[in-house]
Amino acid sequence: MCLDYLRTLRHETVEELSDAQALAAWVEQFGPFDTVPVPPDDGRVEGARRLREAIRTVIDSARRGVPCPASARDIVNAAARLPPPAPAVADDGRLRWRADDPIAATLSLVARDALDLTFSPLLARVRQCAGTDCGALFVDASRPGRRRWCSMNTCGNRAKKDALKARQPD
């Protein structure tokens, strides 16, 4: 989940968290809530982007085995400290997730997931995509552990096509 969140900034240029509406849409797609009301943008979009950058720093530092800057640590810790979504039985007898602030609660899940990943053996399986201008992080779950691209459908395919083109005579 935290790596999905990092992918809201693609190729260092395509910003998916462009405004409060986009942030609510991401939380609706990846969080446990059926609907997420669009909040007023009281600086929370910027906060969400800062959290994303801080998560990247925490994970990158751990991968390189260097201490994480306190500024990044503080941001991730603060997000993780907020209450995550709580399960509740709804009127219709089904399980629903509740939170006073669905966005903050989901970002708490994202931050907790980032810390789980950072301190789990899976960290050794986190790779950076070899695709041109991609740089996305992904968990290599393949048995040989030699996966190179975040996705075969996008970066992997492009790399194959480029290699093919390079081999063809003009």
Chain positions contacting Zn ion, by CB under 5 A: 129, 131, 134, 136, 150, 155
φ, ψ (nearest 5 deg) of residue 17: -95, 65
Whole-angstrom distance, CA of residue 38 vs CA of residue 40? 7
Of the candidates 5, 37, 39, 33, which has an alpha carbon nearest to the alpha carbon of residue 19? 39
What is the bridge-based pairing of β-strands 86-89 and 14-15?
unpaired
CB of 111 to Zn ion, least distance (A): 23
- DSSP states of 8-74: TEETTTEES--SHHHHHHHHHHHSS-S--PPPP-SSHHHHHHHHHHHHHHHHHHHHHT-PPPHHHHH
Complex with Zn ion: residue 55 or 136, whichever CB lies closer: 136
Contact 136, 128 (CB under 8 A): yes
CB neighbours (10 Å) of residue 123?
Answer: 14
Q: How many CB atoms lie within 10 A of CB 14?
A: 10
